[in-house]
Structure 1
Amino acid sequence: GSSWQQADVPVSVLLTAVDFVSSDKGWAVGHGGVILHSNDGGLSWVKQFDGNQANQSIIEQAEAYIAELEFELDESGGSDEDLEYELEDAQYALEDAELDAEIGASKPFLDVAFLTDTHGFAVGAYGFLFETTDGGRTWENAGDRLDNLDRFHLNAIKVLEGGNLIIAGEAGVLFTSSDKGQSWDTVNSPYEGSFFGVLPLKDKNSALVFGLRGNLFKTVNAGRSWSKVDSGTESSLMGGALDGNKQISITGNAGTVIVSNDGGETFSSYSRADRL
């Protein structure tokens, strides 16, 4: 990190996250629903996807779902009240999607995670969850797999040791998947404020989640239960890294840095003198 060079990037939007599956192959996401891909270790990037394509994907999926419900309702003779309610909700969802498309590519992606060099997910604002199974050549809306009717922002997605996935976001929402993202369980969250990050640990199925006002929690069972960890700070925690063994560093607002040397059991905290 002693020297840096600007990569060749085809967009000028704010980029929010990056994930590399090898020394060469990586993906970056950002505002405008942008997803970028690099095959040369990050020296150059191509755009694979953007928010206009995301909006269109959601509209097409909503239209197909409405057609399916209308067929089922017609087959029932038009007397199935549950189907009628479901159809009404689906029509409202389509109207929302069409309004979003009129606004344009306004929603940001906030994190990206790949399980293999072909299979990955991107998450973002207003419940954005998109999946690729072909290395990013195509991306499809997978937001309907989450129980997220309020469309809370999804701020982070990570792959744990062992292969499980965790999504963390606004209002304390937590989702986990044990089948490579094909289905998601809603976790009973230990906290109602926003989470900004997930940090997988070296132990299988273990991770930290962190967010507003220094809130920090640990799981050792892929998110089924959580224990609160004393972060030693009330600054919002924004990002973290593991050194490959037991040392963990998490950074936050106002120059806050918290460090653990025991795998996340305890932390010491300090603030940078310049508060950056």
Structure 2
Amino acid sequence: MRVTLGIAVSLIVAVAGIFAFSHRDTLSLGTRQIPINNMNLTSLVETDAGLVTAGELGHILISKDQGQSWTPASLSQQRYALLTRLHFKDGRTGLAIGHEGWILRTNDGGLNWQEVAFNPGGEPLLGIHLLPSGAWVAFGAFGQALISRDDGNSWSDLPPPEGTDWHLNNILASIDKRTWLIVGESGTLFRSTDGGENWETVPEFYNGSLYGGLNLGGDNWLVYGMRGNIFRSEDNGLTWTSVGGELPVSIFTHQSLDNGKLLLAGQGGVLLLSDDDGKSFSFLHKSGRMTLTDITRLESGKLLMSSDTGLLPPLSLDQLKQPSGA
């Protein structure tokens, strides 16, 4: 009996070995799909190469057909850190910034990117711009500040304005590039009237975080942030008046439209519309729990929006005015 059992076990092992090493056709896994409609995308711009978006796990994607299809850009080094913002000085040269002090540079509109800075364990970078002097500056969490004087190819530490250690969320330029604002945590707002060479603190007018804004032309500015708060200045950023703040959601981005209209967007898919140069805003749209992060206008005139759950289908302003589920 033991001999018979041993022979049976030996046969089973032999057959298993033959099966394990025998040739078998491997099933195709199919074409890899980029989850463009199910990923955190933080920035969206149009360049000479097409539409470029970036965000989750260091992904940078590009579309040459107005957002109908997307392909990965080529990165010299993939760090899998969240990219927070894209900024281009023209149709070809731009920078991407992100967590851990990560900075990437492109000179072909976003098709190929070279890593120019990375600080493992470093703080997130949140805002970047090119000053009139030709220097790039980047700001981020806990007052982090960096400067590049060789068109973004190398970076060094920069003392933050007045030694602040608040989060610096964005840097804004006037249309004529003479006045600059830095907006940040706990109502932080710095102003420069000499092209970003020197900064002064604007007296606090709000104790919540400010995330963005824009120059409306001349001395008129708008900034926005937590809890739907929106402020307007008519004296080049010296004093500010509230023109919003009734929504329990934060506002993160904007897009200027035709005829002086202005669109703001943020948490909960909320969209606010102004048709009087930012003096007042009306509720336009709300959609689920997503957070809208950026907006760009397509050649068709429709709006393409990025969010923490991917790209939304392009929509016209009239389509956005239609009610949507909360």
TM interval, short-chain normalised: 0.7 to 0.9
TM-score with structure 2 length normalisation?
A: 0.63
Could you tell me how far apart the structure 1 residues matched to 2:102 and 2:223 are?
A: 25
Partner residue in 2 for 1:108: 124
Name stretches of at least 5 consecutive residues in structure 2 with no aligned partner.
Answer: 1-65, 291-326
| 2:47 aligned with 1:33 | no
Q: Is the 8 A contact 1:231 1:267 kept in 2?
A: no
Partner residue in 1 for 2:232: 218
Could you tell me how far apart the structure 2 residues matched to 1:225 and 1:218 are?
A: 8
Which AA in structure 2 matches 1:124? G
Q: Is the 8 A contact 1:117 1:135 kept in 2?
A: no
Whose Rg is larger? 2
Could you tell me how far apart the structure 1 residues matched to 2:259 and 2:143 are?
A: 33
Shift of 1:205: 3.7
Which AA in structure 2 matches 1:105? G
| 2:159 aligned with 1:143 | yes
Alpha-carbon displacement from aligned partner over 1:143-189 (angstroms, at most 9, x marks no partner): 24x1244x110011111112211100011100011222221000012
Q: Is the 8 A contact 1:207 1:219 kept in 2?
A: yes
Does the residue aligned with 1:255 lie in a helix, a strand or coil?
A: coil
Alpha-carbon displacement from aligned partner over 1:9-48 (angstroms, at most 9, x marks no partner): 3332101011111111111110010111111111111111
Q: Say which of 173, 180, 201 aligns to 1:186.
A: 201
Q: 1:166 to 1:245 in 2, by over 3 A?
A: farther
Partner residue in 2 for 1:7: 73
Partner residue in 1 for 2:212: 197
Does the residue aligned with 2:138 lie in a helix, a strand or coil?
A: strand
Q: Which aligned pairs between 1:226-237 and structure 2 lie closer than 5 A?
A: 226-230=240-244, 232-237=246-251
Q: Is the 8 A contact 1:155 1:169 kept in 2?
A: yes
Does the residue aligned with 2:162 lie in a helix, a strand or coil?
A: coil
Partner residue in 2 for 1:90: none
| 2:167 aligned with 1:153 | yes
Name stretches of at least 5 consecutive residues in structure 1 with no aligned partner.
Answer: 52-103
Partner residue in 1 for 2:37: none
Which AA in structure 2 matches 1:195? L
Does the residue aligned with 1:171 lie in a helix, a strand or coil?
A: helix
Q: 1:122 to 1:245 in 2, by over 3 A?
A: farther
Farther off after superposition, 30-39 or 204-213 = 204-213
Alpha-carbon displacement from aligned partner over 1:99-136 (angstroms, at most 9, x marks no partner): xxxxx433010111113594221110010111222201
Q: Say which of 21, 25, 39 aligns to 2:89.
A: 21
Tell me the matched-pair count. 221
Could you tell me how far apart the structure 2 residues matched to 1:210 and 1:199 are?
A: 9
Could you tell me how far apart the structure 2 residues matched to 1:191 and 1:172 are?
A: 5
Partner residue in 1 for 2:116: 48
Structure richer in strand, relative to its length: 2
Shift of 1:208: 1.4
Which AA in structure 1 matches 2:74? D
Q: Is the 8 A contact 1:198 1:210 kept in 2?
A: yes
Which AA in structure 2 matches 1:112? I
Aligned residues with identical type, % of pairs: 32
Could you tell me how far apart the structure 2 residues matched to 1:7 and 1:35 are?
A: 15
Q: Root-mean-square deviation (CA), in Å?
A: 2.0
Could you tell me how far apart the structure 1 residues matched to 2:107 and 2:259 are?
A: 28
Q: 1:117 to 1:38 in 2, by over 3 A?
A: farther
Does the residue aligned with 2:100 lie in a helix, a strand or coil?
A: helix
TM-score with structure 1 length normalisation?
A: 0.74
Does the residue aligned with 1:238 lie in a helix, a strand or coil?
A: strand
Does the residue aligned with 1:224 lie in a helix, a strand or coil?
A: coil
Farther off after superposition, 36-45 or 233-242 = 233-242
Structure richer in helix, relative to its length: 1
Could you tell me how far apart the structure 1 residues matched to 2:236 and 2:200 are?
A: 11
Q: 1:26 to 1:245 in 2, by over 3 A?
A: farther
Q: 1:180 to 1:105 in 2, by over 3 A?
A: farther
